[in-house]
Amino acid sequence: MAKGGFRGGMGGMNQAAMMKQVQKMQQEMLKAQEEMESKTYSVTTGGGMVTATVNGKHEVLALEIKPEAVDPDDVEMLQDMVIAAVNEAMRKADADANANMSKLTGGMNLGGLGGLF
């Protein structure tokens, strides 16, 4: 072992300061997650016939279907519009979560931590 023993640390960074910084980032991530979960995202498809609203927890909060979209002879078209609206609303929620995570981490890839949102 080198004279003076192992000093530890990462590039001379004080471990206590590093832990404090990690705890601060964890708090910011939890706050951001709570904010994301409370946001809502709405998407309209089919020329305004179907609107889906979801939250950041990927829960469908509302589904509005205009009466003129209901055609008993073409139920498949309505199903497609509903699926498209819900899927696009979910993509909006995911894109917003990823953008917010990127802001928090300064663009660092934290591996599995991105799945928190």
Q: What is the pLDDT of residues 94-116, one digit of tens each?
A: 998 888 878 777 766 555 544 44
Burial of 113 (C-beta count, 10 Å sphere; 0-12/13-18/19+): middle
Encode pLDDT of 49-78 as tens digits.
999 999 999 999 999 999 999 999 999 999
User: pTM for the whole thing?
Assistant: 0.67
- Helices 15-38 and 75-105 cross at an angle (nearest 10°) of 160
Number of H helices, E strands in the chain: 2, 3
Say if residues 46 and 59 touch (Cβ distance below 8 Å). no
Per-residue pLDDT tens digits for 16-57: 888 888 888 888 888 888 888 889 999 999 999 999 999 999
